[in-house]
Amino acid sequence: MPGAIHAEGLVKTFGDVRALDGVDLDVPEGTVLGLLGPNGAGKTTAVRVLTTLLRPDSGTAVVAGIDVLKKPNEVRRSIGLSGQFAAVDEYLTGRENLQMVGQLYQLGARDAKARAGVLLERFNLGDAADRPAKTYSGGMRRRLDLAAALVVSPPVMFMDEPTTGLDPRNRQQLWDVIEDLVAGGTTLLLTTQYLEEADRLANDICVIDHGRVIARGTSDELKARTGGERVEVVVHRAEEIEPARSVLTALGEGEVTVARLSRKLTAPVSGGARLLAEIIRDLDARGVEIDDIALRRPTLDDVFLSLTGHAAEIRENGDAETGEAGAERPRGARGKEENR
């Protein structure tokens, strides 16, 4: 299994924080594992251990058929890493950065140059190629960092939040690049806060929290486990939240989640369109005016929320909308660990 990733019982503590508390991971060759988890869950720590940047307190890991603890240098030659904190030399231009990486990996000067050119175009950095990286925007840096990870095509790639901070168009393009890469046989472990990204790219998903794996499976398996349909109601006025909550509590199948700022209530339901009609009648009878109502299947976001008690993408939408939805869950929102 030259391209696989296999880890067992990884533990890593920092003082009294157990960043990894016995993590097992398996990524078959040529597949994509999406590692999901709230801020501080241990995702970056797992990636750092698997890429030899950090020694675990205990546990074993084999990447590309090589023991990570015994032969870190060999592992490094078989992997590519694009990090959460971009490793870009500020004073070099984008092109020079990529050429330097190529030479580090012992591509000849000509090959390194050609490869840099291809990647700069592919990541939309053609126009900025000859400017120092310190003049790049955040999204440009991120793209340069990703391009650097792809200078040589290693059999195993690790990407820690590859598209955080990219605009939708660049994110889409990056997904295409990643899909090409995987179609070519690369094994990929990626962490992400965008569940849509995991949904689209990952064969398997592993959810971690507090350094432990709390769920794994395909996206469909995880969704099925979270349960059936949900109804979402957006009421017109804040005063209508409570009466609407009573209606949903009576007709729904479980806890009603409320996002106050957007006046959106969500509840698990069963009964489809017929129930929807009933909900609308009851809301109407109580004089609740609705701006929007919809029945929807669980998304990976629902899975994440129900497993961890946090909404994903808090960092970006930090508007209370997702934060609050999380805050009304039993476990409550844990403070977000700021590390960026």
C-alpha 172/C-alpha 3 separation (Å) is: 26
C-alpha 283/C-alpha 240 separation (Å) is: 9
User: Binding residue for ligand ATP (CB under 6 A) from 17, 53, 86, 295?
Assistant: 17
Q: CA dihedral in degrees (135, 136, 138, 141; nearest 10)?
A: -130
Question: Closest separation between CB of residue 113 and Mg ion, Å?
Answer: 33
> Is 153 in a helix, a strand, or coil?
coil
Please say which residue, 107 or 333, places its beta carbon nearer to ligand ATP: 333
Please say which residue, 212 or 260, places its beta carbon nearer to ligand ATP: 212
Q: Could you tell me the CA-to-CA distances from 56 to 9, 21, 53, 256, 276 in Å, in that order?
A: 10, 10, 10, 41, 51
Question: Closest separation between CB of residue 139 and ligand ATP, Å?
Answer: 18
User: Binding residue for Mg ion (CB under 5 A) from 44, 186, 219, 257?
Assistant: 44
Under the criterion CB under 6 A, does residue 165 sit at the interface with ligand ATP? no
C-alpha 314/C-alpha 338 separation (Å) is: 12
Phi then psi for residue 223, to 5 deg, are -65, -40
Do residues 121 and 171 lie in contact, with contact meaning Cβ atoms separated by under 8 Å? Answer: no
Q: Going by C-beta distance under 8 Å and a sequence separation of 6 or more, which residues neighbour residue 283?
A: 233, 243, 244, 247, 290
Please say which residue, 36 or 61, places its beta carbon nearer to Mg ion: 36
Using the rule CB under 5 A, give the single segment among 82-90, 98-106, 137-145, 292-300 that binds Mg ion: 82-90
Under the criterion CB under 6 A, does residue 42 sit at the interface with ligand ATP? yes
User: Binding residue for ligand ATP (CB under 6 A) from 31, 45, 82, 257?
Assistant: 45
The interface with ligand ATP within residues 82-141 (CB under 6 A) comprises 84
Using the rule CB under 6 A, give the single segment among 39-47, 61-69, 222-230, 291-299 that binds ligand ATP: 39-47
Using the rule CB under 5 A, give the single segment among 39-47, 169-177, 238-246, 327-335 that binds Mg ion: 39-47
- Per the structure block, which two tokens stand in for 158? 């690790």
Residues of this chain that bind ligand ATP (CB under 6 A): 14, 17, 19, 37, 39-45, 84, 337, 339
Residues of this chain that bind Mg ion (CB under 5 A): 43-44, 84
